[in-house]
């Protein structure tokens, strides 16, 4: 009972859905992302800088200073927090891309050139949703397998490569999330988002492993039924 087609194609819905979500989050920051990923060397001044001076107020005495309020501090902090979330959620949501990025980042980027923290965060936000497509594809296959198992179907088959990835995600994701959360108040927002992403993928890895176990049990039960039927056939 493995030749029938499963229902909804989660293997395509998960990768496309996470890509669309990341595009929606990063679209307002597209200009900043481009400037962070394409840093330019500032041009040297060719002459003296003409800095305009502000005339002193006649009511200000020597030794005194005035405070100029540029904007609302709470609003600025809220806007900065929203931008931080927009920039961190795509990489946290695609946490397994770390395994691929660790090996290919040295091939794409120049190790001799020191990159800033802004470049690294922008690089992760843009590339990790693309690198994690294969992991979301595996997660979708696991959900399809669990859905098909309700009808005693063995499609799609969860193989040893997916089991290996599932075990790695379970242990590495759970360990990393616990290590981040144990830091308490010393952690920042990016750390908590990354911990949440690691915990999410630990759960997805467990789902993939459960799908493999369920298929194994169905295969064993079908084999037992087949053996019983063969013994009951006439002339056997």
Asked if residue 36 lies in contact with residue 122, where contact means CB atoms within 8 angstroms, the answer is yes
pLDDT score of 6: 55
Which pLDDT tens digit goes with each residue over 90-118?
Answer: 999 999 999 888 887 766 666 656 678 88
Round to whole Å and give the CA distance between 195 and 92.
Answer: 8
Residue 57 has pLDDT above 80, yes or no: no
**Predicted pLDDT at 225:** 83
Query: Which sequence spans correspond to the domains of the chain?
Result: 10-35+83-232
Confidence tier at 133 by pLDDT (50, 70, 90): very high
On the question of pLDDT at 65 being above 60, the answer is no
State the pLDDT at residue 21. Answer: 97
Return left, alpha or beta for 225; rule: phi > 0 is left, psi -120 to 50 is alpha, else beta: alpha
Average pLDDT, the chain: 83
For residues 27 and 86, give the distance between their C-alpha atoms in angstroms, rounded to a whole number: 9
Name the pTM for this structure. Answer: 0.79
Q: Is 19 exposed, middle or buried (0-12, 13-18, 19+ CB in 10 A)?
A: middle
Distances (CA, A) of 123 to 33, 58, 132: 8, 51, 14
Q: Which of the pair, 227 or 203, is modelled with greater confidence?
A: 203
Q: What is the pLDDT of residue 20?
A: 98
Q: Please indicate whether residue 46 or residue 131 has the higher confidence score (pLDDT).
A: 131
Residue 201 banded pLDDT, cuts 50, 70, 90: very high
**pLDDT of res. 124:** 93
pLDDT over threshold 90, residue 15: yes
pLDDT value of position 184: 57
**Percent with pLDDT over 70 in the chain:** 75
Average the pLDDT over each of 148-152, 202-206, 209-213 and give the range with the smallest value. 148-152
Q: How far apart are CA 129 and CA 86, in angstroms?
A: 13
What pLDDT score does 87 carry? 95
Cβ proximity of 196 and 176 under 8 Å: no
Give the pLDDT mean for 211-217: 96
Residue 63: per-residue pLDDT:
53
Q: At what angle do helices 97-108 and 117-131 cross, to 10 degrees?
A: 120
What is the pLDDT at residue 189? Answer: 85
């Amino acid at each position: 009972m493995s030749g029938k087609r499963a229902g909804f194609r989660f293997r395509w819905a998960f990768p496309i859905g996470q890509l669309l979500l990341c595009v929606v989050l990063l679209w307002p920051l597209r200009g900043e992302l481009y400037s962070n990923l394409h840093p330019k060397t500032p041009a040297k001044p060719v002459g003296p800088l003409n800095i305009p001076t502000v005339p002193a107020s006649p009511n200000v005495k020597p030794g005194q200073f005035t405070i100029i309020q540029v904007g609302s501090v709470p609003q600025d902090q809220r806007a900065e927090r929203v931008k931080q979330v927009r920039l961190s959620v795509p990489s946290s949501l695609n946490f397994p891309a770390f395994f691929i990025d660790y090996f290919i980042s040295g091939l794409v980027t120049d190790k001799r050139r020191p990159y800033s923290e802004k470049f690294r965060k922008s690089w992760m936000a843009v590339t990790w949703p693309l690198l994690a497509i294969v992991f979301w594809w595996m997660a979708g296959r696991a959900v399809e397998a669990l859905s098909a198992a309700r009808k005693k179907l063995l499609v799609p088959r969860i193989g040893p490569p997916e089991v290996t990835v599932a075990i790695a995600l379970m242990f590495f994701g759970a360990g990393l999330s616990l290590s981040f959360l144990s830091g308490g108040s010393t952690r920042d927002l990016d750390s908590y988002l990354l911990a949440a992403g690691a915990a999410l993928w630990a759960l997805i890895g467990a789902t993939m492993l459960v799908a493999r176990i369920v298929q194994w049990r169905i295969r064993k039960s079908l084999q037992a039924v087949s053996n019983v039927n063969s013994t009951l056939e006439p002339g056997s």
